[in-house]
Amino acid sequence: MTTDTIITARGLTKTFTVRKAVVEAVTDLDLDVQRGELVAFLGPNGAGKSTSLRMLTTLLPPTSGTATVVGHDIARDPAGVRRRIGYIGQGTSAGHNQRVRDELLSQGAFYGMGRRAAATRADELLESLDLAPLATRKVLGLSGGQKRRLDIALGLIHSPELLFLDEPSTGLDPQSRANLWQHILDLRREHGTTIFVTTHFLEEADLFAERVLVMDHGRMIADDTAGNLKTTLAGDVITLGFASEADARAAAARAGGTAAGSSLSLTVDHGELVLPRLLRELDSVTSATLRQPTLDDVFLALTGRSLREDAATSKEEINA
């Protein structure tokens, strides 16, 4: 651990007992996050992301293991941790009958800020999160994207060094998601805030995070930059088209890969070198594409499942 380490966790474990059955929500989580990092935490539904965040933010006592967050031990000094962090939970949109600016002032008072300091900070945040024109509107009447931005302002009112965000962009349209991320990145640039964020949107993690953690079944299964994960864990995807299904199957027999209809997909290292060779060897190819791996390919390689399918399933469940 260096002086610049803002989160250290060792063997953090949480089990729940539900009707005599033991649920191992998080098992043996080891984690070091450096000051100023933007870390994305990925994993399918039920992987243990929120439980990890709730332990690190002192909302949930671990079954075993230890963690130090912004210099304070989560078990011995939870109040010390809470004073220095911001936490925006999953789907906790403020739904109060209060006005936007008053909501921020109440939150400041909750953190023990003086009224003047809270007002100054509230106005700063309203400005930087594009909420100033809504300052006197009732929270209840805000749109989803506006509420999520207010959530972020609420989490930042006491100027925390470290901000935990649990799926900040779920439920927002693409435009609002992009807008929200712009605000997150601006805040980070202006204040150097360390950001630890869970998301189901792999593109977000890929674009914005310099480090990606992947959790599955309560265990951390990957921890690296998105670029490294993609180059070391998932190969390039080559898709070849053929005139007929029989041609595609014959090509699969020679070159490997998976034939589907009249096309053949292969996952390979260095697709740019493999593709010309395949085109020389297979004479019946009618079309060819080479695709760089995505984080979803990484997830598929790690777990045998697609995170995208997972997200789609959970959405259907919600809609059902």
Ligand X SMILES: Nc1ncnc2c1ncn2[C@@H]1O[C@H](COP(=O)(O)OP(=O)(O)OP(=O)(O)O)[C@@H](O)[C@H]1O
Binding mask 67-106 for ligand X (x = CB under 6 A): -----------------------x----------------
Among positions 6, 38, 43, 282, the unique one binding ligand X when judged by CB under 6 A: 43
Other Cβ atoms less than 10 A from the Cβ of 93: the count is: 16
Q: How far is CA 279 from CA 46, 245, 249, 254, 270, in A?
A: 43, 18, 16, 12, 15
Closest to ligand X by CB, 142 vs 214, is 214
Tokens 């949107």 appear where? 201
The C-alpha torsion from 182 through 183 and 186 to 192, rounded to 10°, is -120
145, interface contact from Mg ion, ligand X, none, CB < 5-8 Å by kind: none
Report the site for ligand X in 160-199 (rule: CB under 6 A). none
Decide if 93 contacts 149 (C-beta within 8 A). no
Which residue type sits at 153? A
**CA torsion sign, 54 to 60 to 63 to 65?**
positive
Closest to ligand X by CB, 63 vs 176, is 63
Among positions 1, 18, 21, 320, the unique one binding ligand X when judged by CB under 6 A: 18
DSSP 8-class letter at 169: T
What's the min distance (Å) between Cβ of 115 and ligand X?
Answer: 36
* Footprint on this chain of Mg ion (rule: CB under 5 A): 49-50, 90
Interface with ligand X, residue 13, by CB under 6 A? no
Report the site for ligand X in 46-65 (rule: CB under 6 A). 46-51
171: Cα within 13 Å, side-chain hemisphere: 16
Closest to Mg ion by CB, 104 vs 165, is 165
45, interface contact from Mg ion, ligand X, none, CB < 5-8 Å by kind: ligand X
Any idea how long the chain is? 320
Binding positions for ligand X, rule: CB under 6 A: 16, 18, 23, 25, 43, 45-51, 90
